[in-house]
Structure 1
Amino acid sequence: MGTLDWIVVAGYFFVMVAIGIWSRGRVKNIADFFTAGGKMPWWLSGISHHMSGYSAVMFVAFAAEAYRLGLTVYIWWSLTIGIGVGIGAFVFAGRWNRLRAKHDVASPLEYLARRYNVPTQQLMAWCGAVLKVVDIAAKWAAVSILLRGFAGVPIVWGIVLIGAVTMVYSVLGGLWADALTDMGQFVIQGAAGIAMFVAVAAHLGGISFTWTIWEKLPESHSDPLSGPYTFTFFMALFLIKTLEYNGGMWNLAQRYMAAPSGAAAKRSALLSAALWLVWPLVLFFPMWAAPLIVPGMDGNAEQAYVEMGKAMLPAGMIGLVLAGFFSHTMAMVSSDANVISAVITRDMLPKLWKGVANLTADAQLKLARATTFLFIGLSMVIAITSGGQGFVLKVVVDLVAATMGPIAIPLMLGLLPWFRKFGPSAAIASVIGGLGVWAFLYVEQLQKAAFVTKGVLVATPLIVSLVLYIGFGLLKPEPSKDRDVLLESLNHDDDTKPADDEPLSVKA
Structure 2
Amino acid sequence: MESLDWVVVAGYFVVMVGIGLWSRGRIKNVADFFTAGGKMPWWLSGISHHMSGYSAVMFVAFAAEAYRLGLTVYIWWSLTIGIGVGIGAFLWAPAWNRLRSKHDVKSPLEYLAIRYNVPTQQVMAWAGAGLKVVDIAAKWVAVALLLQGFAGVPIGWGIALVGVVTMVYSVLGGLWADALTDFGQFVIQGLAGFAMFFAVASHFGGIDFMWTIWDKLPESHSDPLTGPYTLTFFMALFLIKTLEYNGGMWNLAQRYMAAPSGFAAKRSALLSAALWLVWPLVLFFPMWAAPLIVPGMEANAEQAYVEMGKAMLPAGMVGLVLAGFFSHTMAMVSSDANVITAVITRDILPRLWKGALSMSADAQLKLARITTFAFIGLSMTIALTADTKGFVLKVVIALVAATMGPIAIPLMLGLLPWFRKIGPTAALSSTVGGLSTWVFLYVEQQFLKDFAVSQALIVSTPLLVSLVLYLVIGFAKPEPSRERDALIDSLKSDEPDTAPERAVRS
Same fold (TM over 0.5): yes
Aligned position for 1:46: 46
Within 5 Å, give how 1:79-478 maps onto structure 2: 79-446=79-446, 447-478=448-479
TM-score (norm 1): 0.99
Q: Give 1:62 deviation, angstroms.
A: 0.2
d(CA) in 2 for partners of 1:436 and 1:283?
37
Is 1:61 matched with 2:67? no
Task: After TM superposition, give the deviation of residue 331 of structure 1 in Å.
Answer: 0.2
Corresponding residue of 1:37:
37
Equivalent residue, structure 1, for 2:78? 78
**Cα distance, 1:500 vs structure 2:** 2.5
Distance in 1, matches of 2:344 and 2:498, equals: 28
Taking the aligned partners of 2:75 and 2:452, their CA distance within structure 1 comes to 24
Distance apart, 1:498 and its partner CA: 4.5
Give the Cα–Cα distance (whole angstroms) in 2 for the partners of residues 234 and 242 of structure 1: 12
Q: Which amino acid aligns with 1:419?
A: F
Amino acid at match of 1:460: T
- C-alpha distance in 2, partners of 1:367/1:194? 41
Residues in 1 aligned to 2:24 and 2:120: alpha-carbon distance in whole angstroms: 34
Q: How far apart are residue 205 of structure 1 and its match?
A: 1.2
Match of residue 489 from structure 2: 488
The letter for the 1-side match of 2:77 is: W
The one-character-per-residue Cα deviations of 1:256-277 (angstroms, maximum 9, x if unpaired) are: 0000000000000000000000
Amino acid at match of 1:466: L
Q: Given residue 166 of structure 1, which amino acid in structure 2 is its aligned partner?
A: T
Q: How far apart, CA to CA, are the structure 1 residues paired with 2:143 and 2:18? A: 22
The SS at the match of 1:26 is: coil
Counterpart amino acid of 2:116? Y
Distance in 2, matches of 1:284 and 1:490, equals: 38
Q: Which amino acid aligns with 2:14?
A: F
Q: Cα deviations across residues 117-170 of structure 1 (Å, max 9, x unaligned)?
A: 000000000000000000000000000000000000000000000000000000
What residue identity is the alignment partner of 1:76?
Answer: W
What amino acid sits opposite 1:169 in the alignment? Y
Shift of 1:465: 0.2
Q: 2 CA distance for matches of 1:198 and 1:388?
A: 32
Map residues 12-31 of structure 1 onto 2, 5 A cutoff: 12-31=12-31
Deviation at 1:248? 0.1
CA contact (8 A) 1:145 1:389 kept: no
The DSSP-based 3-state class of the residue aligned with 1:500 is: coil
Deviation per residue, 1:336-367 (Å, 9 max, x gap): 00000000000000000000111100000000
Q: Is the CA contact (8 Å cut-off) linking 1:17 and 1:165 kept in structure 2?
A: yes
- Structure 1 counterpart SS, 2:55: coil
Unmatched runs of 5 consecutive residues or more in structure 2: none
| CA shift for structure 1 position 499 | 4.0
Q: Which amino acid counterpart does residue 462 of structure 1 have in structure 2?
A: L
CA contact (8 A) 1:489 1:498 kept: no
Q: Distance in 1 between matches of 2:43 and 2:362?
A: 30
Find the aligned partners of 1:486 and 1:329 in 2 and give their Cα distance.
Answer: 35
Return the letter of the residue paired with 1:221. H
Distance in 1 separating the partners of 2:419 and 2:497: 23
Distance 1:479 1:497 in 2: 20
TM-align CA RMSD: 0.6
Q: Deviations over 1:446-505 (max 9, x none)?
A: 1221221111000000000000000110111100011000000000002x4544222211
Q: C-alpha displacement at 1:13, in angstroms?
A: 0.2
